[in-house]
A and B are shown apart, each in its own frame.
Chain A
Amino acid sequence: MIRTRSLLFRYNSEKEIAFTDLDITSGDQFLLLGESGSGKTTLLHLLGGLLKNQKGTIEVNGTSITNLSEHELDRFRGKHYGFIFQRNHLLAALTVEQNLLMAPYLAGLNQDKARVEEVLEQLGIAEQKKRRIQELSLGQAQRVAIARAVLNKPSVILADEPTSALDDKNCDRVSELLVSVAQQNQATLIIATHDQRLKNRIHNLIQL
């Protein structure tokens, strides 16, 4: 469950954005829509604890993340969130499997190879397990990024423009996977995007 109250972020002395209060129940799926510069990424980063120094409060699963210290926030992120970005941001030096195992390692959780297998299976890329990131296609790489985001069974998945670099076919594929994988893991899914193609799949909208 995510709840925000009177959230306001000040970029500099001239520009600030006030966000409407959000009440998102667990398992919901939302699209965060808006023009570029409307603060989609800022809100997503605030919700994900990637950005601090805002006014107002954010509560995630009963924890007020605005009150956490930097280190506590790192740990909280590792246990409760999965992130997906426009670019896949996979660690190019590692194989697919190693990339996925980084998620439990960095979150301080048990590194379960069977879980890696399971998630890769769900996303239809199990045969890519031992391959290096450079050898993957764009669509495959984005699916690996999704696998990494859901591996720890996070309660919240935050995606920032996950499909805007993909063609229609891959966009369809990735968004379908994102929705179904979030459902399978009972995670709250929030996608910040200006990609209108996603509206067909997710109907809850937050307009900025």
Chain B
Amino acid sequence: MNLFALIFAYLKARPLNTLLNILLLSLGIAMITILLLFSNQLQQKIADNTKGIDLVVGAKGSPLQLILCNVFHIDFPTGNIKLQEADRLAKHRLVKNAIPMALGDSYQNYRIVGTTHAYTELYKGELASGDLWLADMEVTIGATVARMLNLKLGDTFASAHGLSEAGHAHEEHPFVVKGILKPTFSVLDNLILTNVSSIWLVHEHNEDEHEIIKPDSLHASVLVPTAFASDSTRELTALLLKYRNPIAAIQLPRYINSQTNMQAASPSFEAARLFSILGVGIDALTGFAYVLIFISALSIFIALYNSLKERKYDLAIMRSMGASRSKLLWATQLEGVVLTFCGSVLGVALGHVVLFLFTTLVTESQTAGVNAFVFYVEELYLLMGSVVLGIICSLIPSWQAYRTDIHKVLAGN
């Protein structure tokens, strides 16, 4: 016999009560674990996806929408901007480099993005097979797209207008898969990349098969070399900018917002704003989880307190057999700690399992890229906290055990 065997026997002697207490606590802990995994990974994702993008310039509208659409590829575009204007901005002395973004089409819910190779470099995209797109109508696809749609090199597909499946198909202009990227764990995985002119091509209604005149280098757009810088018909969805120096952070957004027809939005600022909105929900859920934990702690306390009353003879007889006061105190403390520790271990495991089920069963969550099997140091703090909780729950009961008056109990009065 030892203390653990004794405690285990006591817990096993009232299985329903023990189960209830462990389950109750594990629910609260599981909730906190899920929130922790979710918000940490979301924050990490946001940080990864906004890295290297100082400013997003697009049509006027909601700045949050602009960021969601062009950085995270969740929302719809705010509208289009003129290539002419975008080009002028790209040549601005405070801009280090500019990446054009032309959105508007999708294939099976995955977005087709007209851009330059600089965009893949931004997310350190590497080729798993094939090449990056070069000519019009060539695409390089992200790892998730390739996997989910089962696309291989040389496959062709017709894009759909709009960013959802219901759009009208552009069957006369099929895309061909030229390359597949390795997973980058960024938005790149969920995108189909091509050049800007392919997007234009798809949307041109070939009423007048006009001859394509390539501009010479002097007149070419810096963003889309195949277009004239002066072409006033061409449009883009947005520009991703990188500042040349810190002064740009102060001057450039103000200049764009007040002097042009476009708007500038900072991804890090908007992401922080988005997260603070989400944060309210996360805080509310966390609060609820703590209420659950508090109730379970109360339940454990009551269970220990009541069982101590039933066990007063056990305690007295153990004292008569040579157990010291402090041994009984530790036994009671340990019982509380074993309960809370089991509850929190189960809770953390439950949190990961629930998240795993969620990410495998709900396909939308896969694009969010939340991984259920990432472990954070905070989970270790949860386990340690549960030990403290167990000690707190069993403070009063263990003090009762400590103070057991063996003579009174055994004399039966």
B319 within 8 A of A: yes
Chain A residues positioned under 8 Å from B317 (CB to CB): 83, 85, 89, 91
| A50→B406 contact, CB < 8 A | yes
| A77→B320 contact, CB < 8 A | yes
Chain A residues positioned under 8 Å from B327 (CB to CB): 106
Could you give, for residues 136-162 of chain A, a 1 whenever the CB lies within 8 Å of some chain B CB and a 0 otherwise? 000000000000100000000000100
* Contact of A74 (CB < 8 Å), options: B1, B13, B319: B319
| B322→A77 contact, CB < 8 A | yes
Chain A residues positioned under 8 Å from B1 (CB to CB): 94, 98, 101-102, 105, 111
- Which range holds the interface residue count of chain B? 20 to 34
In the complex, how many angstroms separate the beta carbon of A187 from the nearest chain B beta carbon? Answer: 15
Chain B residues positioned under 8 Å from A106 (CB to CB): 318, 321-323, 327
| A92→B13 contact, CB < 8 A | yes
Chain A residues positioned under 8 Å from B410 (CB to CB): 45, 50, 83, 85, 89, 160
Query: Which of B3-11, B74-82, B367-375 lies at the interface?
Result: B3-11
| B406→A107 contact, CB < 8 A | no
A74-B324 in contact given A91-B314, A91-B317 (Cβ < 8 Å): yes
* Contact of B411 (CB < 8 Å), options: A45, A83, A103, A111: A45
| B322→A108 contact, CB < 8 A | yes
Which residues of chain B (303-321) have a CB below 8 Å from chain A? 313-314, 316-321
Chain B residues positioned under 8 Å from A83 (CB to CB): 317, 320-321, 410
Point out residues on B near A: beta carbons under 8 Å: 1-2, 5-6, 9-10, 12-13, 313-314, 316-325, 327, 406-407, 410-412
Beyond A71-B325, A89-B410, A148-B321, 12 extra complex contacts between A and B, CB < 8 Å: A45-B410, A71-B324, A74-B325, A89-B317, A91-B9, A91-B314, A93-B10, A102-B1, A102-B6, A102-B321, A105-B2, A106-B323
Point out residues on A near B: beta carbons under 8 Å: 41-42, 45, 48, 50-51, 70-71, 74-75, 77-79, 81, 83, 85-87, 89, 91-94, 98, 101-103, 105-108, 111, 148, 160
